[in-house]
């Protein structure tokens, strides 16, 4: 069997149905091409700059060789990062879970090395059990757990929707920035890559399907910035915080016995009875009402207010 046939059979076995890939084949091929371009560009730019700088202290030929070697090293680093970016991006997506798992394992190992097994189990039970029993910390932990879940659910939705499109072939899917809990659910900020817009989400009916993907009751998408059209905000609703009964402390502050003024049942009150307010007997009488004189027939009527006009 020739080498080309061997490679084709190997690729056929790798791409057969049922094979799970961390990174799609076309995305990996695209990033390999980008890595080659990044390696050549970085080597040329860094090599020439380093050669110019080193030529002041070394022979021009030695400076050129040293600069090209330094540029090649920098180009290899940049090319390796670009080629492995799809894998690094997957690790970045799971960075919160990885850090959390590493922290729990390292803490458990340190606790086991410092104490006995019984004490370690007791400490772990207290550390995990007390927040789980206390309602406020339990709800806070569950809310942040939903933030982690929503990030992966949104990423899955964008990956399924963009399958086969130009943006998916180049790996340009929306970038999920940050998620935080809200009284109604979660709020997520998403940065759209070139080729996507908010109208695409609204036109294709993706917003309705987002609620199903995120296991929520409703999802609202709006622009999060007036300056950048690609920055969107996803408000995911799981519960209605205003539907519950709110216990108000105001009825407790109202006194039970409120004194009232006795009112005669025979005659209705003619005016307000304010015994604490003294009567003002020195107040002048009300000014007489002014009437406007009607101009006789033939006399011109004033068209504006005149200070010398007699209204008496």
Express each pLDDT in 209-258 by its tens digit: 888 889 999 999 999 988 998 999 999 999 887 776 767 778 778 777 76
Per-residue pLDDT of the chain (312 residues; tens, 9 = 90+): 444 454 444 444 444 544 445 556 667 788 888 899 999 999 999 999 998 888 888 888 888 899 999 999 999 999 999 988 888 888 888 898 999 999 999 988 998 888 888 888 888 888 888 888 888 889 999 999 999 999 999 998 888 776 444 444 444 678 899 999 999 999 999 998 888 888 888 876 778 888 888 999 999 999 998 899 899 999 999 988 777 676 777 877 877 776 666 655 666 655 666 667 676 666 555 555 555 555 555 555 555 545 454 544
pLDDT at 169: 45
Express each pLDDT in 254-286 by its tens digit: 777 766 666 556 666 556 666 676 766 665 555
State the DSSP string of 239-282.
Answer: S-TTSSPPPPSHHHHS-S--------SSS---S---TTSPP-TT
List the Cα angle 79/88/195 in 5-degree steps.
Answer: 85
pLDDT at 31: 83
User: 239: number of CA atoms within 13 Å, CB side?
Assistant: 11
Q: Are 238 and 261 in contact (CB under 8 A)?
A: no
Query: How far is 248 from 10, CA to CA, in rounded Å?
Result: 71
pLDDT at 271: 61
pLDDT at 268: 60
State the DSSP string of 77-88.
Answer: HHHHHHHTHHHH
Which two three-digit tokens encode residue 268? 């209705």
User: 228: number of CA atoms within 13 Å, CB side?
Assistant: 12
pLDDT at 149: 93
CA distances from 13 to 7, 8, 10, 22 (A): 10, 9, 5, 16
pLDDT at 266: 63
Q: Are 237 and 184 in contact (CB under 8 A)?
A: yes
pLDDT at 291: 53
Q: pTM here? A: 0.61
Query: How far is 147 from 96, CA to CA, in rounded Å?
Result: 11
CA distances from 202 to 68, 114, 294 (A): 51, 57, 69
Q: Are 157 and 147 in contact (CB under 8 A)?
A: no
Which two three-digit tokens encode residue 209? 């399907």
Which two three-digit tokens encode residue 62? 């030695």
């Amino acid at each position: 069997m020739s080498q080309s046939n061997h490679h084709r059979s190997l690729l056929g076995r790798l791409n057969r149905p049922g094979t799970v890939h961390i990174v799609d084949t076309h995305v990996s091929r695209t990033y390999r091409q980008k890595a080659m371009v990044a390696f050549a560009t970085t080597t040329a730019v860094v090599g020439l700059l380093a050669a110019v700088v080193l030529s002041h202290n070394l022979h021009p030929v030695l400076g050129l060789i040293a600069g090209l070697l330094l540029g090649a090293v920098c180009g290899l680093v940049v090319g390796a990062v670009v080629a492995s970016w799809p894998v690094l991006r997957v690790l970045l997506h799971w960075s919160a879970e990885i850090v959390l798992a590493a922290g729990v394992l390292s803490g458990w190992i340190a606790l086991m090395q410092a104490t006995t097994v019984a004490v370690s189990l007791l400490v772990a039970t207290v550390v995990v059990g007390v927040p789980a029993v206390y309602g406020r910390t339990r709800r806070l932990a569950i809310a942040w757990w939903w933030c982690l879940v929503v990030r992966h659910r949104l990423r899955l939705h964008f990956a399924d929707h963009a399958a086969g499109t130009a943006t998916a072939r180049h790996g340009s899917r929306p970038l999920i920035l940050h998620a935080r809990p809200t009284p109604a659910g979660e709020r997520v900020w998403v940065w759209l890559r070139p080729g996507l817009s908010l109208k695409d989400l609204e036109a294709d009916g993706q917003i309705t399907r987002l609620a199903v993907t995120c296991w929520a009751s409703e999802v609202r998408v709006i622009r999060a910035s007036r300056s950048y059209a690609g920055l969107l905000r996803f408000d995911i609703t799981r519960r209605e915080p205003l539907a519950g009964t709110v216990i108000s402390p105001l009825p407790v502050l109202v006194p039970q016995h409120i004194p009232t003024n006795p009112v005669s049942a025979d005659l209705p009150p003619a005016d307000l009875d304010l015994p604490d307010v003294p009567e003002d007997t020195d107040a002048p009488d009300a000014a007489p009402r002014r009437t406007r004189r009607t101009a006789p027939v033939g006399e011109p009527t004033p068209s504006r207010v005149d200070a010398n006009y007699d209204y008496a």
